[in-house]
């Protein structure tokens, strides 16, 4: 059994064959999927999907790319959504210094607002951080985000930053990037404490080898687990067991996620 802790099934690339995508995931041993919102529209779609499909859960929030949309009126709609049964996290939120999505002060205001929402709802955070790990960790500490924890998804920081995240009560999420040639993410992932490692796809992006260059989908999280098993000290079965238990505990997923 496996959990894809970060998917974007509500994106247009899945409109034509979503049922088949979910079936392939189940056939590959993926028992649960977290469908992550990036703005109000995709958050609502994620909720609708979670309510119609067993094993799919939703996270709601505004990605840094959409932080300009996270005004007071938009953010005021989130608390009611966070009370829904299958909404299990706040996000994705965070900072992105790699692309000029929005002014940094706008991104940070949205990020801090999401942390406040997570603490008020007692839900974990799903954090996007690209070329911004140092500042993300500073903001998490300043806002007391360790009270709820969460995950730095698609983690691209170094080993020291990974440890800082763990010390702040956060998990580290790894996906297809660990399978890329010369990727530093593999060594970081193999050094993360076993009880803090979770797996993801970030689909439709970042498909792992041997599917690199194609549309990513939840079934492919299996390739990530297999690659970690090939290059680390744990068997494939043990990685599946451990990362599924971690995801289930972090997000309060149903017992069915553990098979």
Please write down the HEC assignment for all residues of 23-92: HHHHHCCEEEEEEECCCHHHHHHHHHHHHHCCCEEEEECCCHHHHHHCCHHHHCCHHHHHCCCCEEEEEE
Q: Domain tally for the chain?
A: 1
Please, what is the Cα angle at 47 between 206 and 16, to 5 degrees?
55
Find the CATH number of the domain harbouring 56: 3.20.20.140
pLDDT band at 250 (very low <50, low <70, confident <90, very high): very high
User: Is 217 exposed, middle or buried, given 0-12, 13-18 or 19+ CB atoms closer than 10 A?
Assistant: buried
71-116: pLDDT as tens digits: 999 999 999 999 999 999 999 999 999 988 899 999 999 999 999 9
Alpha carbon 179 to its chain's center: 18
pLDDT digits (tens, 9 = 90+) for 124-148: 999 999 999 999 999 999 999 999 9
Residue 18 domain boundaries = 2-258
What is the pTM (predicted TM-score) of this model? 0.98
């Amino acid at each position: 059994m496996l959990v894809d802790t970060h998917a974007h099934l509500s994106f247009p690339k899945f409109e034509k064959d979503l049922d088949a995508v979910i079936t392939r995931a189940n056939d590959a041993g993926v028992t649960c999927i977290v469908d992550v919102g990036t703005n109000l529209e995709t958050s609502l779609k994620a909720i609708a999907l979670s309510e119609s499909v067993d094993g799919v859960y939703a996270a709601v929030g505004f990605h840094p790319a959409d932080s300009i949309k996270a005004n007071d009126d938009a953010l005021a709609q989130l608390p009611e959504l966070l009370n829904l049964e299958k909404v299990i996290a706040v996000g994705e939120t965070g900072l992105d210094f790699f692309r000029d999505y929005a002014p940094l002060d706008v991104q940070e205001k949205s990020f801090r607002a999401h942390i406040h929402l997570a603490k008020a709802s007692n839900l974990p955070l799903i954090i996007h951080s690209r070329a911004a790990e140092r500042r993300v960790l500073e903001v998490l500490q300043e806002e007391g985000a360790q009270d709820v924890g969460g995950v730095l998804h698609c983690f691209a920081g170094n080993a020291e930053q990974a440890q800082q995240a763990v010390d702040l009560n956060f998990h580290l999420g790894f996906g297809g990037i660990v399978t890329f040639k010369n990727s530093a993410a593999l060594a970081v992932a193999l050094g993360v404490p076993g009880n803090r490692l979770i797996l993801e796809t970030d689909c439709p992006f970042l498909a792992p080898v041997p599917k690199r260059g194609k549309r990513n989908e939840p079934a492919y999280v299996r390739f990530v687990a297999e690659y970690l098993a090939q290059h680390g000290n744990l068997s494939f079965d043990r990685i599946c067991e451990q990362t599924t238990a971690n995801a289930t505990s972090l997000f309060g997923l149903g017992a069915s996620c553990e098979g």
